[in-house]
Amino acid sequence: MDGIPVRPGRPLLAASARPWAGALLASCAILVALLGVLYGHRANAGWLDHAVDSPVIAWLGGHRDLVLWLAAPGSLIPASVLSAATVVGCLLTGRPNGAVLAAAAVPAAVGLDEGVLKPLVHRTYLGEVTYPSGHTTAMFALAAVVTVLLLLSPHPADAGVPRALIPAAACLLGAVVAIAVIGLRWHYFTDTVAGAAVGIGTVCGLALILDLPAARRWLAWASRAGPARAITVTSLIWGRPRSR
């Protein structure tokens, strides 16, 4: 780094929160794996799905247009806009590691759904592969990101209730989206549980990685380097253009 020592930036997670983040990551992974084993290669609901899905579908069945609106925040464009707003907020407040977390969380979590878990588990609902729910994954990944940024990072003890309102609202929105995709008969209840676990677990894993000293040092250096250095770093990561 040009021979100049760079001190690592402020971590995402307070020291007391890191063991909990690791335990939550492990719990989410176990839950997703367990449900995947139980419902893999099935095209029907389990007993828990029957208990939850039937009343939700009966309750929302006559309000499809409304339910589509309730599910919309978990789709690509709204989730991307929310992620981008969080990235901008982190950059404006001088938190490059938070910006990286916000930018990577939804693509990483949904990519894990689409690229690994759905093909591997291959649970179907009305002919569509459904495990885990991507809408629910996206919303709970966003909720986990704002929880890390506002509640679990080192901050003054008097931050209090205002900081808790945004994560609480984000979790509530995630629950609304989960209920909506059940009502639309896009997913079983257990699909949404797994989706929430994937979103939360992915953010825990990313936060722990970004809190490694090497990652914090690199981000501190990159944030001081300016656009020209960022372009150089990007070219080193992706490689030089190749001629045909």
pLDDT at 78: 95
DSSP 8-state secondary structure symbol assigned to residue 115: I
pTM tops 0.85:
yes
User: With the C-alpha atoms ordered 42, 49, 121, 73, is the resulting torsion angle positive or negative?
Assistant: positive
Query: Which of 175, 92, 171 is CA-nearest to residue 133?
Result: 175
The residue extents of the domains of the chain are 18-211
Q: Tell me the pLDDT band of 158, cut-offs 50, 70 and 90.
A: low
Q: What is the pLDDT of residues 4-55, one digit of tens each?
A: 454 566 899 999 999 999 999 999 999 999 999 999 999 999 999 999 999 9
